[in-house]
Chain A
Amino acid sequence: GAGVSQSPSNKVTEKGKDVELRCDPISGHTALYWYRQSLGQGLEFLIYFQGNSAPDKSGLPSDRFSAERTGGSVSTLTIQRTQQEDSAVYLCASSYLWGGTTDTQYFGPGTRLTVL
């Protein structure tokens, strides 16, 4: 079946602008994650959604970052007033809830964000 998809593949924006990144999880997967991959910080967890539960936002680096998940499926990560340090690859992953815990996370191809 189809894997996790993300759009856009690449995004170039100017400092101070807002951006929205989209993630479509694998059909039937109830858990969705966002990670950020940058040269300096490696792979960092940002946020986690599981069904109707309150999201785990513990990895969001500032209040300029927010995410929502509509209808338990598609998710949008929004970065307001972008800064150059926000330049990174943003990865989305999804997994299936099984036996009370989530299974292996499957990743999308990522969105490369460049802030000029």
Chain B
Amino acid sequence: AQTVTQSQPEMSVQEAETVTLSCTYDTSESDYYLFWYKQPPSRQMILVIRQEAYKQQNATENRFSVNFQKAAKSFSLKISDSQLGDAAMYFCAYRSAEGGSEKLVFGKGTKLTVNP
């Protein structure tokens, strides 16, 4: 079974600075998707960024980018120019692309605090 590990329960960053959230995963599959979701206190899970494992190029969405290291099974999220609105729980998630279950497997999350 696949597992996702987020080793940083909490992180903090100063407004306008850059922060990196870590995520590692364990799988025997070669084709899969990885996601970062943001969950603010409102509870709504919001997709931040998505990466297909077959793509070597790291995904980028505005201030958010990932460092995808397939061999190391690592998928970190970098937030540049942090804003107060970035404060939230961040979850890393894995989904198989090899048929079978379409479920997301989540890490335990990292609580990000942005200090003014």
Residues of A within 8 A of B (CB): 31, 33, 35, 42-43, 45, 48, 50, 56, 58-59, 89, 91, 93, 95, 101-102, 104-110, 112
Q: Which residues of A have CB within 8 Å of B37?
A: 107
A7 to nearest B CB, angstroms?
14
Complex A-B: 7 CB contacts under 8 Å: A31-B102, A48-B103, A50-B102, A59-B103, A93-B45, A102-B102, A109-B44
Q: Does B114 touch A at the CB level, under 8 Å?
A: no
Q: A42-B109, A43-B91 are in contact. Are A101 and B45 (CB under 8 A)?
A: no
Q: How far is the CA of A17 from the CA of B12 in the complex (A)?
A: 42
Q: Which residues of A have CB within 8 Å of B42?
A: 109
- The interface size of chain B toward A, counting residues with CB under 8 Å, comes to 20
5 A-B pairs with the lowest CB-CB distances in the bound complex, closest first? A107-B45, A43-B106, A45-B103, A110-B43, A102-B102
The B interface, classified by DSSP as helix, strand, loop or mixed, is: loop
Q: Which residues of B have CB within 8 Å of A102?
A: 102
B50 touches A104 (CB 8 A): yes
Given contact pairs A56-B101, A107-B37, a sample of 12 additional A-B residue pairs in the complex whose CB atoms are under 8 Å apart: A33-B102, A42-B106, A45-B101, A45-B104, A56-B102, A56-B103, A91-B43, A91-B45, A101-B97, A106-B47, A107-B45, A109-B42
Interface residues of B in 33-61 (CB under 8 A from A): 35, 37, 42-47, 50
Q: Does B105 touch A at the CB level, under 8 Å?
A: yes
Q: Does B108 touch A at the CB level, under 8 Å?
A: yes
Q: Which residues of B have CB within 8 Å of A104?
A: 35, 47, 50
Q: How far is the CA of A92 from the CA of B109 in the complex (A)?
A: 18
